[in-house]
Amino acid sequence: MESHGPLADAILQPLVQVARERALREGDAALNARVAALKTYQQARFRRTYADLLASPRYGAAASFFLDDLYGSTDFTQRDAQFARIVPALTRMFPADTVHTVIRLAQLHALTETLDTAMGRQLGPAPIDAAAYVSAWQAVGAAAQRERQVALTLMVGQDLDGLTRRPLLATTLRMMRGPARAAGLAQLQQFLENGFATFKNMRGADEFLACVAARERALCAALFDPAAPAMLAAPPQDSPLGQLPWPAGVAG
């Protein structure tokens, strides 16, 4: 990969990894299908875990942004290609804190795609349920990477919350609308505007992010608990979906 400077390379290298993971899966139809099913399952898991936040007048938009824009079953190939095209210019035009937020976004994207491929290799062709999901995570054995995924998600949220206190950034994003459309970068522009507007309208993200941190870390602990398979064999009837007794407030 041609070097464009340390900041640009810090964004481009994770995007290269994302493209590599996609190409790997596209060359294996069965793996590609399992990863697509995994993404759909994980979106449904998120909707259950955060049903209260999704229904909240204050936090609903932020929860939807996490679900649909940061991680989802949507094909982000076009957005990523647009992203890669403007990275050198982005690192010159935007303040350093904005660029570092984008670096974390790219790192999160690459880590998620890498973990999804690893999970897909462990899943069978049958529909995914809680037992298969936990077994796949334990077979992958990526507890540290899963914690890193959660940490990066929280850092991106904290960064977006901080950026809402930069009034000139909102003006810059509005000024970019026309040029972005003309350059074929409309999807990337919409992503940036959605993230900024969502966190600005939330009027403080501390409680929202604390909730995400508590629930995702509780989920991590349950996923990698050696007793999880035994719990799955005889789940309590009152556990969420009758499957895995996630910690209080966490619907797996």
What residue numbers bound the domain in which 170 lies?
Answer: 6-232
Is 239 within a domain? Answer: no
pLDDT at 149: 94
Is 245 within a domain? Answer: no
Is 98 within a domain? Answer: yes
pLDDT at 61: 92
Is 243 within a domain? Answer: no
Q: Are 97 and 163 in contact (CB under 8 A)?
A: yes
Is 1 within a domain? Answer: no
State how far the Cα of 50 lies from the Cα of 44, in Å rounded to an integer.
10
pTM of the prediction? 0.82
Domain count, the chain: 1
State how far the Cα of 228 lies from the Cα of 215, in Å rounded to an integer.
17
Q: Helix (H) and strand (E) counts for the chain?
A: 13, 0
State how far the Cα of 120 lies from the Cα of 140, in Å rounded to an integer.
10
pLDDT along the chain (252 residues), means of 10: 72 90 95 94 88 90 86 64 71 76 88 96 90 90 94 92 78 70 65 82 90 88 73 42 36 39
pLDDT at 185: 62
State how far the Cα of 182 lies from the Cα of 79, in Å rounded to an integer.
15
State how far the Cα of 39 lies from the Cα of 133, in Å rounded to an integer.
11
- The contacts of residue 199 (CB under 8 Å, 6+ apart) are 62, 157, 160, 161, 163, 164, 205
Coil vs helix vs strand at 49: helix
* Token digits of residue 116: 């999804």
